[in-house]
Amino acid sequence: MKLKLWQIDAFAEKPLEGNPAAVVPLETWLDADLMQRIADENQVAETAFFVKEAPGRYRLRWFTPTVEVALCGHATLASSWLIFSELAPELQAIAFETKSGTLHVKRGEDGRHLISLPSDFVKPYEAASDFAARVGQALHTTAPVSIFKGRNLLAVFENAKAVRAIPGAGDIKSLLEPELGLIATAPGDDGFDFISRYFAPHHGIPEDPVTGSAHCALTPYWSKRLDKKTLRARQVSPRGGNLVCTDDGARTTLSGACALYLKGEIAI
């Protein structure tokens, strides 16, 4: 069997920036174990598979190298870029049916499409009194000033320097429950409203370059804190990426560019 595959850098102005996603359009679903093995072979943060159900409507699933996940923003953006650019250029909007409900993407200007995702409202995380200090030690930086929990842990640091100084995932895996990743965030610098990084070692992603789903928590948090509806964000991973985030209450709207890195064919 041969399948077409595109690798697309999401939230990127040009190739080799942002977050790479492999995208595999299907006529019919493959066995989940086979899709997982393809994702492991690809060794990017997410591999997206989708099947067309009707004009402008697709069923979409995402796999990291180790697990299927319920929500992935950057691979959704990459999938929409492929559909808008090459597979169905007549479309102005796409609806993806996913494990997180229906995700809508609208065609934007200059390839900066707008994706609507369910917001993630975080609450203070109840943990041992030394937990914040242990997080700082595990990440080899200063301790966060507060920690919240939603679909991930959200560690808020005093300044951008503390987040930028993190050398990598460090020993954070031992502090996280198996279903959780950790978002490190701080007030922005260089003209951005906030910055962030994301670590998900339990999902086979020591550090994710640019994480759409994490901004579903970051956007409502910073929108309330800064009293701004639309914010400019930068994920300061080694690759890095820029996002424009809008707090729409129950939904978070993200926009960003994509860049094609490769397209080809896989044989399985």
> What is the set of active-site residues?
46
As a whole number of Å, the end-to-end CA separation of the chain is 5
Under a CB-based contact definition with an 8 Å cutoff, are residues 199 and 163 in contact? no
Alpha carbons 215 and 181: distance in angstroms, whole number: 13
E strands, 55-161, are: 57-63, 68-69, 93-98, 101-106, 113-118, 123-124, 146-149, 153-156
For 69, the 3-state DSSP assignment is strand
Q: Chain centroid to CA 268: how far?
A: 27
Nearest to 84 by CA among 208, 265, 260, 213: 260
Alpha carbons 203 and 262: distance in angstroms, whole number: 25
DSSP for residue 107: -
Residues forming beta bridges with residue 63, ordered by sequence position: 47, 68
Q: Return the residue matching tokens 């424009």.
A: 244
